[in-house]
């Protein structure tokens, strides 16, 4: 609208209408306003690109904040203040931090705490991708065993049926067997964790000086990191992702939702975001 007003400047001045007349100072202020608003407009268009990655998103975001702060003025300060409030919420997303972390051109925009969170989120996704996540953590089993033992004692005190007491012993035995089965998996996870964080040190060698885009960087990252890096950067923070997620809700809210486990619902949302 402001741009259109400036385009009509000559026509408005020729009309010589007191209700439409602007002073030279007002025209100057209007031009300054148009220059100021052109930056958010340009960035908004760029954020609608199909190939937008989280790293590019944050770079565009920070670039706009830099220009607004440099420009100054009440309008620029108001826009910048609102953006900073929104930014604090956006950067609470751990997967977003992980995607920014693997982008050598935008990694430096994260502080030390955000970097650590992004690395941890990247590792967690890698663990799930490799099927290493335990369904029931050992500590939960230990709590259940403890409760079973207490129940057995309580059963004796209350003189419950002996068959019931044996049934509880059988349940406790199965839980102990489950714990012993998970021990090799724990060793495997520990080994994977050591190799993964060692590979992240190689990832961090590629910074802005490498001039690599995130797509190019992923190709030279260690294999243990490259696949998960490709996954987390494949979810553009655009309206398209939101539409895909809402379409996934149709599946989740269907008649089969009662028998749908939490992991399955999470997997559906994850896949719908990617495709």
Residue 250, domain member (yes or no)? yes
> Is 72 in contact with 32 (CB distance < 8 Å)?
no
> Domain containing 269: what range?
239-274
pLDDT at 39: 78
Residue-wise pLDDT for 42-51, tens only, equals 888 888 776 7
> Is 104 in contact with 214 (CB distance < 8 Å)?
yes
Measured in degrees and rounded to the nearest 5, phi and psi for residue 93 equal -75, 110
Residue 25, domain member (yes or no)? no
Q: Tokens 């349940």 — which residue?
A: 171
Reading the block at residue 227, the tokens are 């696949």
Q: Please report, in angstroms and rounded to a whole number, the separation of the first and last CA atoms in the chain.
A: 37
Residue 39, domain member (yes or no)? no
Longest dimension (CA), the chain: 104
Residue 264, domain member (yes or no)? yes
Residue 266, domain member (yes or no)? yes
Reading the block at residue 142, the tokens are 């230990």
Residue 251, domain member (yes or no)? yes
Residue 260, domain member (yes or no)? yes
Residue 106, domain member (yes or no)? no
Residue-wise pLDDT for 160-188, tens only, equals 566 676 677 777 777 665 555 455 667 88
What is the domain count for the chain?
Answer: 1
């Amino acid at each position: 609208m402001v741009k259109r007003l400036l385009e009509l400047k000559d026509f408005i001045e020729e009309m010589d209408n007191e209700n439409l007349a602007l002073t030279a100072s007002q025209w100057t202020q209007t031009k300054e306003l148009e220059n100021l608003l052109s930056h958010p407009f340009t960035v908004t268009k760029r954020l609608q690109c199909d190939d937008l990655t989280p790293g590019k998103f944050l770079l565009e975001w920070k670039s706009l904040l830099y220009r607004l702060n440099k420009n100054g003025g009440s309008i620029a300060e108001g826009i910048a203040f609102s953006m900073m409030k929104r930014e604090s919420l956006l950067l609470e997303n751990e997967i977003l931090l992980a995607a920014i972390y693997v982008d050598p051109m935008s990694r430096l925009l994260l502080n030390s705490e955000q970097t650590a969170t992004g690395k941890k989120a990247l590792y967690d996704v890698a663990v799930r991708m490799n099927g290493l996540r335990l369904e029931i953590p050992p500590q939960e089993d230990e709590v259940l065993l403890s409760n079973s033992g207490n129940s057995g004692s309580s059963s004796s005190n209350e003189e419950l049926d002996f068959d019931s007491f044996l049934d509880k012993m059988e349940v406790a035995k199965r839980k102990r067997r489950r714990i012993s089965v998970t021990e090799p998996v724990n060793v495997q996870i520990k080994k994977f964790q050591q190799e993964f964080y060692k590979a992240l040190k190689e990832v961090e060698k590629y910074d802005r000086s490498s001039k690599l885009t995130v797509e190019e960087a992923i190709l030279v990252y260690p294999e243990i990191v490259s696949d998960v890096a490709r996954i987390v950067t494949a979810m553009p923070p655009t309206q398209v992702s939101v539409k895909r997620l809402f379409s996934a809700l149709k599946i989740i809210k269907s008649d089969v939702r009662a028998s749908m486990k939490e992991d399955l619902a999470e997997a559906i949302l994850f896949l719908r975001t990617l495709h």
